[in-house]
A = this chain, B = another copy of it.
Amino acid sequence: MANSPSGDSVTDRLVRILETFTPTRTAQTTADIGRRAGLPSSSAHRIVNELVDAGLLERDEERRVRVGMRLWELATRSSHALRLRQAALPYMERVQQRVREHTQLAILEHDEALFLERLSAPDSGANITRVAGRLPVHASSSGLVLLAFASRDLQERVLSGPLRAVTPETIVDPAALRRTLAEIRTLGRVVAPGYVDEVSTGVAVPVRDETGAVIAALSVVLPRDAETQFALVELHRSARDTERALGYRR
């Protein structure tokens, strides 16, 4: 790969640089980026300046570096997930209005649940989910739905891998997880009390394409002891409407 003795390509370096940015660290000095990405100072400065010139990164008033709007634009405007998001949004809004709790849309990405959208009323409860954030498939309600309908391959990989407990109530026993997944496939929904956050219960349903394959999960985060039935009915309705809006007819 690149001319670097360190043996990483320019692409690798670019990704490593972008990965130094997180939701809580959106602006940093070039030197910081270099340290975190494991790049020599002069290289870090040179590459970051190049990226700023290209518009992929930006400088704020204090010359700190941020991810550029240009990158967001390029990534968003041709993302196929945008179509899914736009189709689902009106129906997510309806769920949000009626249930008045966090409503979210997630897809399967690299063995995790990636959240494409989150709607929250000002008075909604706690929620650790973020737009463009991730949660493990075996813990989050969205993830469980995505996992239940994922390839056998992925299921086995997750079941045999270490199942990290996010809370004491997260399912970490492979046999129990297997039973839960079977139940999700039968019932077409999941109720996940306290798996991600002890004070909340996630409920989720699948969104399918015309072949019946599950392409996304719609979910709501309720207070731990809330009634789940109404939210599930609304989620199912919105999932169907989203499928229709995408042009899928089954």
Contacts and interface: CB of A to CB of B under 8 A. Distances in A.
Task: Report which residue of A11, A67, A75 has the largest number of chain B beta carbons within 10 angstroms of its beta carbon.
Answer: A75
Interface stretch (A117-125, A151-159, A180-188): A117-125
Task: Report which residue of A56, A107, A131 has the largest number of chain B beta carbons within 10 angstroms of its beta carbon.
Answer: A131
Contact of A25 (B25, B75, B78, B79): B78
B54 A132 contact: no
B9 A50 contact: yes
Interface string A53-94: 111100000000011011111111111111000100110010
Contact of A51 (B11, B81, B130): B11
Copies of this chain present in the complex amount to 2
A133 B74 CA distance: 10
Interface of A: 2, 9-12, 14-15, 18-19, 21-23, 25-27, 50-51, 53-56, 66-67, 69-82, 86, 89-90, 93, 96-97, 107, 109-110, 114, 119-122, 130-134, 245
Contacts of A75: 18, 67, 71-72, 74-76
A110 B55 CA distance: 10
A1 to B, nearest CB: 9
Contacts of A73: 109, 114, 132, 134
